[in-house]
């Protein structure tokens, strides 16, 4: 690791020798999967449905992966989804949805009722998310929009009405003003914020960040070049622009949340500026936002953040990617 990044880790109290195992979430059939992959999967006791696997095992070419029985997702990311307490019938918004593993978990938890709306500004990344949903046959109650998460909103118009009942010229004008819909499950419905609708039951804002808490992401810079790390992670100007984006995403996610609903804000950054500072600024400007205890975290290998009721997954102690998690409700 370059000296600049080692200094960054030291400033944030992180041991550079951290090691992160790989995690997968799988559907029933453990013995069959272990036999095919010729390895033992270790159950993650604190997170249902999750297993860790040896770092040298490749899942992409396995039959279990191709048949949609297993997908890779870090346990800390799974914890952020678990903190939402998704129940059947919930209408859930994932405001930074790509590449899609968290949406898969949401839909698994949702079952046969409710819906998940995924939003991301990067069309190619959201297209990959669409491919994953189709691969795992999970898209029936999901819709995906290419849109800016800081301004995303939906009018109270039924999808079929918007596409078929309006005059063509009016539909064309409406389409230009709307986010691009690139995937629509037949039972995903239309849920948004308007005078006639209450908003979403649950919202996840897993915000864009410097990804410095993800050991695997940092390891990629060995190939990308350490100068790229300097620009993407350590550059103060980029960090400042990211914190502006993160606060805007959190504000809009909360705006789209119904009264009594739950919102989880998370990043895989280890910095205070992208985590506690964002949450504190948000709470000061939103009297109707109340920080919630994450009851699901009992038994999780995490620490309390610098703000009470927030959590931090430290790669050294949790053996996951670094992750910050905060949960709020709308009063």
Beta partners for 328? 263, 291
Contact criterion met (CB below 8 Å) for 119 and 153: no
Rounded Cα distance, 264 and 260, in Å? 13
Rounded Cα distance, 261 and 53, in Å? 35
Topology of domain 21-73 in CATH is Alpha-Beta Plaits (3.30.70)
Residue 57: CB partners within 8 Å, gap ≥ 6? 22, 37, 39
CA dist 304 to 168, 299, 300, 308, 317, Å? 54, 13, 11, 7, 13
At 241, phi and psi to the nearest 5?
-70, -35
**Shortest CA distance to 163 belongs to which of 171, 154, 173?**
171
* Per-domain boundaries in the chain: 3-18+75-330, 21-73
For the chain, how big is the Rg over CA atoms in Å?
Answer: 20
What pLDDT does residue 237 have? Answer: 65
Rounded Cα distance, 243 and 318, in Å? 25
List the chain pLDDT tens, one digit each, 331 residues: 677 777 877 777 766 665 456 688 877 677 888 888 888 888 999 999 999 888 778 787 788 888 878 888 889 999 999 999 999 989 999 999 998 999 999 999 998 888 999 999 999 999 999 998 988 888 899 999 999 999 998 743 344 444 444 455 554 454 455 788 888 888 887 665 555 556 899 999 999 988 776 666 566 666 666 666 666 666 666 778 889 999 999 999 999 999 999 999 999 888 899 999 999 999 999 999 999 999 999 999 999 999 999 999 988 778 888 899 999 999 9
Binding residues for S-adenosyl-L-methionine, by number, are 120, 148, 206
DSSP for residue 45: T
Contact criterion met (CB below 8 Å) for 218 and 123: no
Task: Point out the catalytic residue in the list 96, 129, 268, 302.
Answer: 268
> Class of 3-18+75-330 per CATH?
alpha beta
Crossing angle (nearest 10°) for helices 123-135 and 101-110? 40
Residue 268 catalytic?
A: yes
Contact criterion met (CB below 8 Å) for 263 and 328: yes
What pLDDT does residue 244 have? Answer: 95
Coil, strand or helix at 94: strand
Which tokens sit at 168?
């063509």
Rounded Cα distance, 91 and 139, in Å? 14
Which tokens sit at 282?
């948000």
Rounded Cα distance, 144 and 310, in Å? 29
Rounded Cα distance, 66 and 320, in Å? 25
What pLDDT does residue 236 have? Answer: 62
What pLDDT does residue 155 have? Answer: 43
């Amino acid at each position: 690791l370059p000296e600049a990044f080692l200094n960054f880790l030291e400033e944030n109290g992180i041991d550079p020798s951290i090691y992160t195992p790989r995690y997968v979430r799988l559907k029933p059939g453990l013995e069959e999967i272990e036999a095919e992959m010729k390895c033992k999967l270790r159950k993650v006791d604190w997170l249902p449905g999750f297993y860790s696997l040896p770092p040298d095992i490749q899942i992409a070419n396995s039959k279990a992966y191709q048949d949609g029985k297993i997908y890779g997702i870090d346990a800390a990311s799974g914890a952020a989804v678990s903190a939402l307490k998704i129940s059947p019938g919930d209408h859930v918004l994932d405001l930074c949805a790509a590449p899609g593993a968290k949406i898969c978990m949401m839909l698994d938890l949702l079952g046969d009722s409710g819906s998940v709306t995924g939003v991301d500004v990067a069309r190619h990344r959201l297209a990959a998310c669409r491919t994953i949903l189709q691969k795992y046959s999970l898209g029936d109650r999901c819709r995906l929009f290419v849109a800016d998460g800081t301004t995303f909103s939906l009018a109270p118009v039924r999808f079929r009405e918007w596409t078929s009942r309006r005059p063509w010229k009016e539909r064309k004008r409406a389409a230009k003003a709307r986010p691009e819909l690139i995937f629509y499950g037949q039972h995903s419905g239309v849920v948004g914020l308007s005078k006639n609708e209450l908003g979403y039951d649950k919202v996840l804002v897993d915000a864009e960040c410097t990804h410095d808490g993800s050991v695997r992401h940092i390891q990629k810079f060995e190939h990308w070049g350490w100068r790229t790390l300097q620009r993407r992670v350590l550059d103060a100007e980029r960090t400042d622009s990211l914190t502006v984006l993160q606060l805007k995403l959190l504000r809009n996610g909360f705006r789209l949340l119904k009264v009594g609903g739950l919102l989880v804000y998370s990043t895989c950054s280890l910095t205070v500026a992208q985590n506690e500072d964002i949450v504190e600024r948000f709470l000061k400007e939103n009297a109707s936002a109340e920080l919630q205890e994450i009851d699901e975290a009992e038994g999780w290998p995490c620490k309390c953040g610098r703000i009470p009721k927030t959590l931090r997954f430290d790669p050294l102690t949790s053996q996951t990617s670094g992750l910050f998690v905060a949960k709020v409700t709308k009063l």
